[in-house]
Amino acid sequence: MSESEDKPFEASEQRLRQAREKGDIPRSLEVNALLAYAGLFLALIVGGPIAMRRWLAQVSHAEGIAGRTPGASFDAARDIAGTAAVATLALLALPGLFVLVGLLAQRTLLFTSSNLALKGSRINPIGNFGQKFGVKGLVTFSLSLIKVALAATGGWVLFGMLLELLSRAGFMRDSQWVLGLGLVLQYVMALAIGITAALAGADLLWKRLEHRRRLRMTRKEAEDEHKESEGDPHFKALRRQRAVDIAMSSMLADVEKADVVIVNPTHYAVALEWKRGSGRAPVCLAKGTDEIAARIRERAGKHRVPIWSDPPCARALHAAMEVGDEIPVAHFAAVAAAIRFAEAMRKKAKAGW
């Protein structure tokens, strides 16, 4: 029986979260390599010409002052070395920044104690043999083989370009020779980016599929996790919040059916519906304070439900009623005034006022 048949259930959010806390996440080295190459290529394109012109100018200046004064050659060499050092640091900093941003974007930059701990599975020859010669090893070998084939093909083309550059080297000035080498280097980087980009997508997809497959659950694991999650305060809070969100969405959806919304302009809002001829008093469809009150007012405005400002009535109704309740007799007069206002507003709207 295959592992997929042994583990028929997809990994739950809890299982994925626990794996992540242990540092068990899908990582693609090809994606990191692609980002490093892209950063290096950008550094060469943007900063390369500037650094090269400055370096050539310093070399030309050094040749002109060599031997004129004691220590002049040493000072010139120091300036040239300093320029080269700054350029090298800049070239290395940008790829590192790209890789760091990529790790943060993929959420794969994790520092966990379990990753630093010594694990017997890492030095287990049988387990390592299975990784090297199993499906995982076969996929890794296939990707490496494709990379070698693409690199060999691209390298052959670049070798021809380099031979052409060498054949014309005798007729080129120093600056042209350096710029020619820079152009070849750009082609090399473009080739590396192209090859790595082709493999990075496949490698990342494979790593994520393999990670999901490895974390699949047996029926017993799924049942045990369900029992644990029933008593887990974290999941209880999530379920309560989900229930509140569902109830809130349903309540706000009913605001458009209201006849009037009575508000304290900033803190309270109560949406009422009155079915004429039903023999019942107006019914509360929605109520809330602060942010919820603001959302009720916003939805009422969107659906052209009249809003009546009566702070004492809004506070009293909010305290005395729940959603679905009829208004208390003590508030009939205040609510009647609000409904008359709403009917007058609707008549004006129909008349085109």
- DSSP H helix total and E strand total for the chain: 13, 4
344 has a pLDDT exceeding 80: yes
At 230, list the tokens: 């029933």
Q: What's the pLDDT score for residue 173?
A: 65
Distance CA 270, CA 256 (A): 13
19: exposed, middle or buried (Cβ count in 10 Å: 0-12, 13-18, 19+): middle
Q: What's the pLDDT score for residue 144?
A: 73
- Average pLDDT over the chain, rounded to whole? 76
- Structure confidence by residue, pLDDT tens digits, 248-288: 888 888 888 899 999 988 889 999 998 887 788 999 999 98
Domain boundary assignment for the chain: 25-214, 241-350
Of 316, 308, 317, whose CA–CA distance to 339 is shortest?
308
- Structure confidence by residue, pLDDT tens digits, 34-58: 888 888 888 777 776 776 677 666 6
Please name the residue ranges forming H helices in 134-280: 135-167, 174-214, 219-231, 233-253
Q: What's the pLDDT score for residue 205?
A: 86
- Strand, coil or helix: 309: strand
**C-beta contacts of 207-213 below 8 A and 24+ residues apart:** 207/26, 207/27, 207/28, 208/26, 210/26, 210/136, 211/24, 211/25, 211/26, 212/10, 212/11, 213/3, 213/4
Which of 182-191, 233-242, 306-315 has the highest mean predicted lDDT (pLDDT)?
A: 306-315
243: exposed, middle or buried (Cβ count in 10 Å: 0-12, 13-18, 19+): exposed
Q: Which CATH class is domain 241-350?
A: alpha beta
* β-bridge pairing 307-309 and 260-264: parallel
- Structure confidence by residue, pLDDT tens digits, 113-168: 555 555 555 455 544 545 555 666 677 777 778 777 777 777 787 777 777 766 77
Q: What's the pLDDT score for residue 62?
A: 61
- Looking up tokens 């899908």 gives 26
At 247, list the tokens: 């109830």
Distance CA 341, CA 261 (A): 11
Distance CA 317, CA 284 (A): 9
